[in-house]
Amino acid sequence: MNLTTSARCPICSEEMQFSWETVNIPHFGEALVIAGVCCCGFRHNDTILLTQKEPVRFTMPVTSIEDLDARVIRSSSGTLRIPEIGVDVEPGFSSDSYVTNVEGVLERIESVVSFATRSAREAESQESVRRGEEILEKITLAREGRFPLTLILEDPLGNSAIDCERAVKSTISDEDLAHLKTGMIIVDV
């Protein structure tokens, strides 16, 4: 399906064109890709997955530098957990899908924790600064292969994966499934 629509730009109010196209994305399945660019430079892009699979959990021990290269495919409904550092990355309404590796996941987390730690420092919240610095130190050690951790990727819509022989794929219990966020509104008809 290819479709073009127009709407007013939220920045300059000029009319801008949007392209809507369905594509098949490896590991994610069929998706609707929406893209629009305004003459003022404003851009809007979105990818909406149109497929749903069985809920899935991948668990991978990260114990060496080589493990950092394992491919991570996170859909917009995937939740990432690293229990050893107390980090859960849950989907929200504007969650992005991405393909990266374990090191890329750690870099994303490091970026958010660094920002939060700086903000806590400005707010003079010593406990939050201490906690942020502790997480950042553990991430640094893990990237050097000196702090083992576990990467858990859970997806109630089954569109995420850790593509590595060391990753263990399992089902998610109904009880655990009830607590997972999807990051989007799901209409069951």
pLDDT in tens, 44-80: 887 777 877 899 999 999 999 999 999 999 988 899 9
Residues 37 and 103 reside in one and the same domain: no
DSSP of 27-90 = TTEEEEEEEEE-TTS-EEEEEEE------EEEEEEE-SGGGGG-EEEE-TT-EEEEGGGTEEE-
Residues 163 and 101 reside in one and the same domain: yes
pLDDT at 188: 47
Residues 41 and 68 reside in one and the same domain: no
Answering whether pTM is above 0.85, one says no
**Is residue 132 a part of any domain in this protein?**
yes
**Is residue 167 a part of any domain in this protein?**
yes
Total of domains in the chain? 2
Regions of the chain with pLDDT less than 70: 27-28, 183-189
Angle between helices 126-143 and 102-122 (to 10 degrees): 160
Residue 91's domain spans which residues? 56-178
Residues 133 and 157 reside in one and the same domain: yes
Residues 62 and 151 reside in one and the same domain: yes
Residue tagged 């890329």 (tokens): 104
**Is residue 128 a part of any domain in this protein?**
yes
Residues 140 and 64 reside in one and the same domain: yes
**Is residue 109 a part of any domain in this protein?**
yes
